[in-house]
Amino acid sequence: MRTLALETTEMVGSLALLADSELIASRQLPAGQRTAATFAKGMKELLAEADWRPNDLGLIAVCSGPGSFTGLRIGVTAAKTLAYATGAAIVAVNTLEVIALGAGLETERLWVVMNAFRSQVFAAQFDTSGNELSTLIETQILDAESWLGRLQAGDVVSGPMLSKLSDRVPEGITIGDPARWSPTAANVGRWGFHRYQQGQRDDLWQLAPNYFRKSAAEEQLEQRD
């Protein structure tokens, strides 16, 4: 199956084309430029590089969250637009699962953390020791200090938030390769294709980003009520 994958959860977005799980081509978008125009240009160039046409695509894979509010909105909207235009299926995947998949670690206790701001992290724990990625603790928001306090000897940690917390990780904890801390479009495509094989299909009209928290504006509005 020919898949186009989009990754937009951080400041630098990326795109990838895959045939089943095999990476065919990938492209990193200019830092901080996740506009619809940038995506359209990047996707056009990537398809031309692989000599694929838009209608050749059978699957669009995209991260639905957690991540940057703006990035997630742009990525999900672009994925839905492409799926509508090409007739491809669409599969949305969890960002922390994508990072766990790409961590390159076989362990029974892998924590993945992303920055949730306000001294908090998005965190989830996985078992990557078998043939199937297994979620032990679902994605949740924790105070950074609380998450650090939950770590136990033998745990392995990965994720972009470690750029801020790695020097505070307790002894006895293994820190994954920094080059694998961030999600990539290639791994979005691999995980999306795997979920597609398992029968997942997302509804084009119902799919929306999962921010896992309300925006600052929404929280301020609730505080006024």
Instruction: Report residue 128: phi and psi, to 5°.
Output: -110, 20
Q: How, if at all, do strands 120-127 and 134-143 pair?
A: antiparallel
How far apart are the C-alpha atoms of 18 and 57, rounded to whole Å? 10
How far apart are the C-alpha atoms of 151 and 148, rounded to whole Å? 6
pLDDT digits (tens, 9 = 90+) for 151-189: 999 999 999 999 999 999 999 999 999 999 999 999 999
The CATH architecture of the domain made up of 2-96+182-224 is 2-Layer Sandwich (3.30)
Is the pLDDT at 224 greater than 60, yes or no? no
**Burial bucket for residue 35 (CB in 10 Å: 0-12, 13-18, 19+):** middle
pLDDT digits (tens, 9 = 90+) for 49-97: 999 999 999 999 999 999 999 889 989 999 999 999 999 999 999 999 9
Token duo for residue 205: 């009209």
Token duo for residue 97: 């699962």
- pLDDT value, residue 10: 85
Domain coordinates in residue numbering, the chain: 2-96+182-224, 104-180
CATH 3.30.420.40 is held by the domain 104-180: yes
> H-helix or E-strand containing 78?
helix 69-86
- pLDDT value, residue 216: 54
Is the pLDDT at 205 greater than 90, yes or no? yes
pLDDT digits (tens, 9 = 90+) for 124-160: 999 999 888 999 999 999 999 999 999 999 999 999 9
Is the pLDDT at 191 greater than 50, yes or no? yes
Interior CA angle at 101 toward 87 and 14, to 5°?
Answer: 55
pLDDT band at residue 219 using 50, 70 and 90 as cut-offs = low
Whether residue 3 contacts residue 70, with contact meaning beta carbons closer than 8 Å, is answered with no
Listing DSSP states for 161-184 in one string gives: THHHHGGGSPTT-EEPPGGGSS--
pLDDT band at residue 221 using 50, 70 and 90 as cut-offs = very low
Is 2-96+182-224's fold the same as 104-180's? yes
Instruction: Report residue 115: phi and psi, to 5°.
Output: -75, 120
Is the pLDDT at 222 greater than 80, yes or no? no
111, β-bridge pairs: 125, 157
How far apart are the C-alpha atoms of 67 and 32, rounded to whole Å? 14
pLDDT digits (tens, 9 = 90+) for 4-45: 999 999 888 899 999 999 999 999 887 766 566 677 888 899
How far apart are the C-alpha atoms of 134 and 137, rounded to whole Å? 9
- pLDDT value, residue 113: 98
